[in-house]
């Protein structure tokens, strides 16, 4: 993993003690800790060119040994500690989270934490088989990554010749299982799949599900990101609006990263996520836990904090909670607001270790 890991204990110097459980903890910009993303596996059966490119990871990449991956008990313990700190939503990511053995068992354990919204992001390859069991285990919402509807483009982007029909079958199974709406995330890369924008909008309009068009981002260091490959979300909205008229919607909640647009005829909505052209750092409430138990306070982070060592070395929940509070208090991340050639070249954590 190309990132620097430092001890969480280093973040505890010269900062206040633990605040009462449930009290909101703000960082230096007044942002509260609300959303925890947990990568439960570094493995993936796709090699998407913007996330886990085959030229870097190959098909037989040596993934983390089992001993270095957080156990279910450790993940649940972390989630409970974060829930007591004010986190209200946990999203399971990867890699591909449905590759983690008995993921339904983990979901059952997490679903028992009071007041926690439990969500998951998947590439959809295993979803047709697992949608019902995920729902029965207590998963509340699901997001599926789908970058094109035409098979040739989709196979090219996942780079393992996986057919789009199986992902569509997975979305249908999730809808039938009661996940409503299913959110469908499309990463838009200029010159690669931008021709697929309108077909995606047409296909999911009226379905009850929501497509979200995401600007291609410079996450990690392996995808060869270039600014001229970014199609601004504003262009996406104008393209769709010209055929399927749109009207802007209010956000569902403070800090929502997707800008919402509904069809004027009432046939549904879309979202756009504009990390490159319209940075939303000022309202970011997310913290990320990697597969090996490293904590990251930004998607574009250069360094993580070794939470696993605290979990495995006898520290109490209170000690860990105090450390997390103190780490968050000094958080000042604003990568997307200061993106430039020098920052793009930084050695950042790969998306496949911390999810999107």
341: confidence class by pLDDT, cuts 50, 70, 90? low
Q: Does some domain include residue 198?
A: no
Rounded to two decimals, the pTM is 0.91
Q: Does some domain include residue 58?
A: yes
Q: What tens digit of pLDDT does each residue of 151-187 get?
A: 999 999 999 999 999 999 999 999 999 999 999 999 9
From CA 41, how far away is CA 87, in angstroms rounded?
22
Q: Does some domain include residue 236?
A: no
For the residues of 134-146, what is the DSSP string, one character each? HHHHT--EEEEE-
CATH of the domain at 125: 3.20.20.70
From CA 346, how far away is CA 335, in angstroms rounded?
11
Give the count of domains, the chain: 1
Q: What tens digit of pLDDT does each residue of 271-283 get?
A: 999 988 888 889 9
Q: Could you list the residue range(s) of the whole structural domain that residue 38 is in?
A: 4-180+284-354
Indicate the angle between helix axes 164-176 and 127-137, nearest 10 degrees.
30
Residues present in the chain in total? 356
Q: Does some domain include residue 311?
A: yes
């Amino acid at each position: 993993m190309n990132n620097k890991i430092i001890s969480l204990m280093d973040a505890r110097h010269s900062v206040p003690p633990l605040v009462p459980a449930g009290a909101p903890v703000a960082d230096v910009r007044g942002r509260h800790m609300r959303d925890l993303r947990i990568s439960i596996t570094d493995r993936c059966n796709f090699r998407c060119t913007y996330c886990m490119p085959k030229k870097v990871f190959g098909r037989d990449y040596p993934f983390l040994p089992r001993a270095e991956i957080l156990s279910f008990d450790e993940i649940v313990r972390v989630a409970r500690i974060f829930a007591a700190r004010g986190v209200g939503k946990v999203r399971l990511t990867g890699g591909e989270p449905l590759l983690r053995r008995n993921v339904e068992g983990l979901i059952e354990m997490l679903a028992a934490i009071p007041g926690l919204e439990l969500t998951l992001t998947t590439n959809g390859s295993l979803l047709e088989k697992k949608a019902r069991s995920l729902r029965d285990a207590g998963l509340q919402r699901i997001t599926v990554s789908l970058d094109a509807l035409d098979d040739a483009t989709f196979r090219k982007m996942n780079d393992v010749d996986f057919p789009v029909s199986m992902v569509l079958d997975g979305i249908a199974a999730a809808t039938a299982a009661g996940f409503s709406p299913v959110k469908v995330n499309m990463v838009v890369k200029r010159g690669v799949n931008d021709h697929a924008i309108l077909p995606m909008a047409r296909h999911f309009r009226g379905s009850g599900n929501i497509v979200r068009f995401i600007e291609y981002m410079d996450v990690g260091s392996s995808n060869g990101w270039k600014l001229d490959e970014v199609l601004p979300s504003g262009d996406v909205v104008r393209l769709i609006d010209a055929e399927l008229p749109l009207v802007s919607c209010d956000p569902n909640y403070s800090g929502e990263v997707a800008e919402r647009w509904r069809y004027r005829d009432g046939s549904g909505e879309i979202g756009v996520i504009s990390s490159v052209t319209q940075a939303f750092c000022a309202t970011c409430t997310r913290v990320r836990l990697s597969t090996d138990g490293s904590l990251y306070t930004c998607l574009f982070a250069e360094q993580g904090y070794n939470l696993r060592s605290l979990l495995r070395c006898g520290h109490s929940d209170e000690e860990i909670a105090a450390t997390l509070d103190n780490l968050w208090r000094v958080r000042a991340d604003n990568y997307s607001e200061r993106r430039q050639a020098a920052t793009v070249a930084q050695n950042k954590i790969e998306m496949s270790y911390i999810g999107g």
